[in-house]
Amino acid sequence: MSDTETIKVKFFSGEDLPLELHKVRIVQKLHLRPIDQRLKAMDSAGYNTFLLTTDNVFLDMLTDSGTNAMSDNQLAAMHQADDAYAGSQSFFRMESAIQEVFGTKFVLPVHQGRAAENIISQIFIKKGDVIPMNYHFTTTKAHMELNGGTIFEIYTDDALKIKSTVPFKGNIDIEKLKGIISKYGKEKVAFIRLEASTNLIGGQPFSIQNMREVRKIADEHSLMIVLDASLIGENAFFIKQREEEFKKKSIKDILLTMCNLVDIVYFSSRKVSSTRGGGICTNREDLYMKMRDLIPLYEGFLTYGGMSIREIEAMAVGIRETTDETIISQSPSFIAYLVNELDKIGIPVVTPAGALGCHLDAMGFLPHIPQSEYPAGALAAALYIISGIRGMERGTVSSVRDESGNDILADVELLRLAFPRRVFTLSQTKYAFDRLNWLYLNQDLVGGLKFVEEPAVLRFFNGRLAPTSNWPEKLVAKFKQDFGDSL
């Protein structure tokens, strides 16, 4: 088939099922521990799923970061690594893959996405600057604020609506963008940031139409656009599915169109190319020169940037594979299946299905838990206890406190169940559905959480919480009553 056709396999039965377009040749054994052991593990982890260890986790849906399945071609490429501190051929192979796929001439390697954010923020943000964007990502915001910037999220009215049919909830609201520029003056706008498949609002894409409008405003005010391309493949896939003008275009063309509309592209390779590492790319030599000298300071020499040379080889192949729809459609199609099945039985979930994971609305799932008791954190803990599935809290636990020490309540309280590319099967996805269904029917048994140990920065990573009552024990008792000796 030509690379401009959309991948769609219809079942004779009429069922709308995702289909694995790969075969599994290397597998890793999983452990589904008994529920008493899971309760103990959650307790030892301070009701924070980040602090669980994988030997107690059945389906690890914490993230797709660094956990996507690698391809045979990526593994094969790792064997040709040209180990060298400087001038490695592996770097030039990676650089040419990026030039081909993103269409950007200059490439700076970094050890992961947030390292790119550190360098971009240090170079382009001055104290008092503002940075308008569709939505923040946790590490992005932390780096920008560390450098004295203030972020403004100028999403459209639909972005935070849980149930929606709007295809591009990741779009920037153009009127709000104009408002920020006229209020602060273009000198104070460090740059405009666009995040592909906007992570924290449920993996929601923006359209090329919206990018073009943002570009027009940026040009009128001589402003730079920085694209966080960590989930660009999936955003391109949604553009192809949902934006009329691009229905017949190849993913490769769409990626080039997107990157051509911005000044700087940066990414976490842990997501985009199923490896480790990251990069900053641009066609503008002036911008490249401004950032270049920070690479040896924070990352490593310019031809490895803190990555292993083997990873760089795998990254080169992974970047090219981003143009392959059979690969980048996998995660969205499994997410869409789970989201649509949950939606059908009334479980509150972010729609339309997006990239990265299935996002459950914890405030709808557990309406009796106030935001001050962290409903998304409680849902993550409860789901782990009753299923061994590890999700990630994306709500107020992932937020911060204000100057008076009060929680800044998150706009949305989400539990993210990530679908790393080509990792989980349909029956595992059905297991997740089944346990969520049971949990929803037993929602009243789930109670809130409170912090018992709270780091000052990015508290969700290492913070420890405790249940506000003995609800976990009651939940376990009900599970045993309903499931007998089943795991």
Q: Give the nearest distance from C-beta 113 to ligand F0G in angstroms.
A: 2
Taking phi over 0 as left and psi of -120 to 50 as alpha, with beta for the rest, 183 belongs to: alpha
Annotated catalytic, 163? no
DSSP state of 445: G
Is 60 a binding residue for ligand F0G by CB under 6 A? The answer is no
Catalytic residue from among 60, 173, 228, 263: 228
Q: What is the C-alpha to C-alpha distance for residues 101 and 227, in angstroms, rounded to an integer? A: 15
Q: Cis (ω within 30 of 0) for the bond into 352? A: yes
Residue of 48, 56, 63, 323 that binds ligand F0G (CB under 6 A): 63
Residues in the chain: 487
Is 114 a binding residue for ligand F0G by CB under 6 A? The answer is yes
Taking phi over 0 as left and psi of -120 to 50 as alpha, with beta for the rest, 426 belongs to: alpha
Is 268 a binding residue for ligand F0G by CB under 6 A? The answer is yes
Nearer to ligand F0G by Cβ, of 267 and 337: the residue is 267
DSSP state of 375: H
Site string for ligand F0G, 271-300 (x = CB under 6 A): -------x----------------------
Nearer to ligand F0G by Cβ, of 155 and 479: the residue is 155
Nearer to ligand F0G by Cβ, of 115 and 254: the residue is 115
Q: Give the nearest distance from C-beta 112 to ligand F0G in angstroms.
A: 3
Nearer to ligand F0G by Cβ, of 349 and 355: the residue is 355
Catalytic residue from among 124, 137, 206, 365: 137
Interface with ligand F0G by CB under 6 A: which range of 137-145, 150-158, 248-256, 319-327? 137-145
Pick from 202, 210, 226: nearest CA to 156: 210
Annotated catalytic, 67? no
Is 137 a binding residue for ligand F0G by CB under 6 A? The answer is yes
Is 4 a binding residue for ligand F0G by CB under 6 A? The answer is no
Is 135 a binding residue for ligand F0G by CB under 6 A? The answer is no
Residue of 112, 134, 322, 351 that binds ligand F0G (CB under 6 A): 112
Q: Which residue blocks in 147-230 are alpha helix, DSSP H?
A: 174-184, 208-220
Q: Which two tokens stand for residue 430?
A: 């059905």
> Closest residue (Cβ) to ligand F0G?
113
**What are φ and ψ of residue 169, in 5° steps?**
-70, -10
Q: What is the C-alpha to C-alpha distance for residues 433 and 480, in angstroms, rounded to an integer? A: 19
CB atoms within 10 A of CB 452: 11
| N-to-C CA span, the chain | 44
Q: What is the C-alpha to C-alpha distance for residues 424 and 428, in angstroms, rounded to an integer? A: 6
Binding site for ligand F0G (CB under 6 A): 63, 65, 112-114, 137, 139-140, 195, 199, 228, 230, 268, 270, 278
Which residues are annotated as catalytic? 85, 137-138, 228, 271, 394, 460
